[in-house]
Homo-oligomer: A and B are copies of this chain.
Amino acid sequence: MKKKRISITDIAQALQVTPSTVSRALNGGGKVSEKKRQEIISLAKKLGYRPNPIAKSLLENRTNTIGLILPEFTHHFYSRVLAGIESVTSQAGYQLLICTSNENQNQEIKSTLTLLDARVDGILATISKMNDKFEHIQEVMDSGTPLVLVDRFSEEIETPYVISDDFKGAFSAVDYLCQIGCKNILHIKGPDNLSTTFNRFMGYKEALRKHEIEVKEELVLESSDPKLVEKIRFCLGDLHADGAFTYSDYLAFEIYKLAAELKITIPEELSVIGYADEPISTYINPTLSTVNQQPFEMGAMSANYLLNKINDSASPLEASRVDTKLILRESCRKMDG
């Protein structure tokens, strides 16, 4: 069983003084003889007394904690977002309490309530992929707890957010492939129903449009397609794809494997660009060109928005799309000239 927390009353009873004497002695205020003060401090120490944080925070109305809801840490992306958040919050003297949702909405709802119960001063959240309920988010806002959305946002939630510019990120990648002369550019899309999947596909199409290249349906594949491997093989072998832009670095690696099987050389015959700049992109051979989303900067920016909101609830609604960076490595042919 959990041991009872030592209270001021316990110390008062043990020393036969009033609780308010104990409180004055411990808080350094009021009239207490030096001898008595030492006696009280010494017993408090011995019993492991710590001020009740809830009572304390009721007075101050601050716990100096920030709640963070992230989907998972399997992708390097979120550990970089976390690092960016920490760089700001630790500087400002805040502790982070992190919950993971595993892309499960019920888990996200529970996490949100747990953080509210822990009386965090604000919440940073990446809402789970299949979010269709927003009551828990509304509850955070009703409670007056400042909230900032990171990486994903919903038009139904009017609160500050920081997201990545997926459209521009994809556009810059495919625009580059066109510039180095690729004509048949394969695209592997991400999971259905994700706005990031949609926006990256739009960026792909817009870049082709700019270069007056027709979008060929058979060159656009779905990552969830059970026949994905066969279809990539068909695109590389029969359709002579000379460029590839994938929703993730991991999908680019699938292309590497099939290109090796078909004896198609990267980058001489096929230029490849992934997405997210996962650590693997520098370890595979040839090293992979990719789109970096600047997750550290996203995290830091969202933490700053939250601190602004905590310090001034009337601060204007801040929102940003963080620019992506195209990282060129060995998997792309060099620009002519």
* A residues in contact (CB < 8 Å) with B: 1-3, 5, 17-18, 20-21, 24, 28-33, 36, 48, 50, 53-54, 58, 61, 63, 65, 72-74, 76, 78-79, 82-83, 86, 90, 95-100, 102, 107, 110-111, 113-114, 116-119, 121, 135, 139, 142-145, 253, 279-280, 283-285, 313
Smallest Cβ-Cβ distance to A145: which chain B residue: B31
Q: How far is the CA of A50 from the CA of B136 in the complex (A)?
A: 12
Contact A114 to B100, CB < 8 A, known contacts A107-B90, A139-B48, A280-B280: no
Chain B residues with Cβ below 8 Å from A253 are: 283
The 9 A-B residue pairs with the shortest CB-CB distance in the complex, in nearest-first order: A3-B144, A73-B79, A98-B98, A73-B73, A53-B117, A31-B143, A95-B114, A118-B118, A280-B283
A21 to B142, Cβ gap below 8 A? yes
Partner of A142 from the list B32, B110, B116 (CB cut-off 8 Å) is B32
Q: How many copies does the complex hold?
A: 2
Q: How far is the CA of A313 from the CA of B31 in the complex (A)?
A: 13
Q: How far is the CA of A279 from the CA of B253 in the complex (A)?
A: 12
A117 to B73, Cβ gap below 8 A? no
A143 to B48, Cβ gap below 8 A? yes
Chain B residues with Cβ below 8 Å from A83 are: 74
A29 to B2, Cβ gap below 8 A? no
Smallest Cβ-Cβ distance to A68: which chain B residue: B98
25 contacts between A and B (CB under 8 A): A1-B144, A2-B61, A18-B135, A20-B116, A21-B139, A24-B143, A29-B58, A31-B145, A32-B143, A33-B142, A48-B142, A48-B143, A65-B114, A65-B118, A73-B79, A74-B79, A82-B100, A90-B107, A95-B111, A97-B99, A98-B98, A98-B100, A280-B280, A280-B283, A283-B284
A20 to B86, Cβ gap below 8 A? no
B96 to A99, Cβ gap below 8 A? yes
